[in-house]
């Protein structure tokens, strides 16, 4: 059976996350329904990352096996058509080998977190960014963020319900940059713990507010204690931007 790699974009606001859940709308669920309407066969679609409720994606990756060898442009366009009116689009479909696995073949996952740093409420960006009214020091946030790079026990930034076998992860990138009113936090790693990115962003917020120093952030990491974490950033600002293979 030919295997296809899909690159997918979605607005996660109305979804209970990526993974199929009974009686709840999910991205994986509507995608599998679209595949069934296209091919007439119920087919499992495996994703590279299980984004949470409200989290968006500009570069989620998935794979599926189809009984028929369809042209890739036909697969892309047919799935996107059958996904309407859901805010999900298949950006690309590629033929890949049977050994490709969207989750286990990934070498790095890239996330973006968007903070809009202004006093007025969000109109167009509501549910797509985190508005912070108080002026933040993005440069201080970036300097502090570098203290989290490398291989560490990230228990402080791990959700209590996280099912990962180990809290030890290697963080390859954590950059903070201001572009006008927007502060962008970009991060990359082979894999992340549940809520790790949102927890790190919430802790970096304390640095930007001047309440924590870089040393305070490093101390919170070293404590390996969830109670030392800053407030968890909301899901609305988080995007799965890309997956590397």
Burial class from Cβ neighbours inside 10 Å (0-12, 13-18, 19+) for residue 114 reads buried
Q: Based on C-alpha coordinates, what's the Rg of the chain? A: 19
Q: What b-and-e string marks burial along 28-48, b requiring 16 or more CB atoms within 10 Å of the CB? A: bbbbbebbeebbeeebebebb
- In the chain, which residues fall in CATH 3.30.70.660? 108-244
**What's the chain's length in residues?**
245
Task: Give phi and psi for 69, each to the nearest 5.
Answer: -85, 90
Residue among 11, 52, 98, 175 flagged as catalytic: 52
Mark whether 73 is an active-site residue. Answer: no
Residues 171 and 207: their CA atoms lie apart, in Å, by 19
- In the chain, which residues fall in CATH 3.30.70.580? 3-96
- Read off the tokens for 84: 């309407």
Residue 135's H or E segment, with its range, is none
The pLDDT assigned to 207 comes to 98
Banded pLDDT at 93 (limits 50, 70, 90): very high
Q: Give yes or no for a contact between 82 and 70, defined as CB atoms under 8 angstroms apart.
A: no
The pLDDT assigned to 201 comes to 98
pLDDT, tens digit (0-9, with 9 covering 90-100), for 168-198: 999 999 999 999 999 999 999 999 999 999 9
* Structural fold of domain 108-244: Alpha-Beta Plaits (3.30.70)
* Structural fold of domain 3-96: Alpha-Beta Plaits (3.30.70)
Banded pLDDT at 54 (limits 50, 70, 90): very high
- Residue 46 in this model has a pLDDT that exceeds 90: yes
Residues with Cβ within 8 Å of 180's Cβ and at least 6 positions away in sequence, in order, are none
Banded pLDDT at 28 (limits 50, 70, 90): very high
Residue owning tokens 């952030």: 217
Q: Which whole number is the average pLDDT over 69-87?
A: 97
The pLDDT assigned to 77 comes to 98
Q: Which whole number is the average pLDDT over 135-163?
A: 96
Q: Which whole number is the average pLDDT over 156-167?
A: 91
- Residue 161 in this model has a pLDDT that exceeds 90: no
Banded pLDDT at 22 (limits 50, 70, 90): confident
The pLDDT assigned to 114 comes to 98
- Read off the tokens for 215: 């040393």
Q: Which whole number is the average pLDDT over 21-43?
A: 96
Q: What b-and-e string marks burial along 212-240, b requiring 16 or more CB atoms within 10 Å of the CB? A: bebebbbebbeeeeeebbbebbbbbbbbb
The pLDDT assigned to 209 comes to 98
């Amino acid at each position: 059976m030919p295997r296809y790699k899909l690159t997918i974009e979605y607005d996660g606001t109305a979804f209970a996350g990526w993974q199929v859940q009974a009686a709840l709308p999910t991205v994986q669920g509507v995608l599998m329904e679209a595949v069934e309407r296209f091919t007439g066969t119920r087919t499992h679609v495996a994703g590279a990352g299980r984004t949470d409720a409200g989290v968006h994606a500009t570069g989620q990756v998935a794979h599926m096996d189809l009984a028929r060898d369809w042209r890739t442009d036909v697969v892309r366009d047919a799935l996107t058509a059958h996904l309407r009116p859901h805010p999900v689009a298949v950006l690309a479909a590629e033929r890949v080998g049977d050994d490709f696995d969207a989750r286990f073949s990934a070498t790095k996952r890239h996330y973006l977190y968007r903070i809009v740093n202004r006093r007025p409420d969000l109109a167009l960006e509501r549910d797509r960014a985190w508005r912070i009214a108080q002026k933040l020091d993005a440069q201080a946030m970036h300097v502090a963020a570098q203290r989290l790079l490398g291989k560490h026990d990230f228990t402080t930034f791990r959700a209590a319900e996280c099912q990962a076998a180990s809290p030890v992860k290697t963080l390859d990138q954590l950059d903070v940059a201001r572009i006008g009113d927007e502060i962008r936090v970009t991060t990359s790693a082979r894999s992340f713990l549940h809520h790790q990115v949102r927890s790190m962003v919430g802790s970096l917020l304390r640095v930007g507010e001047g309440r924590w120093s870089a040393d305070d952030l490093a101390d919170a990491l070293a404590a390996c204690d969830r109670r030392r974490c800053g407030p968890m950033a909301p899901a609305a600002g988080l995007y799965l931007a890309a997956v590397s293979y």
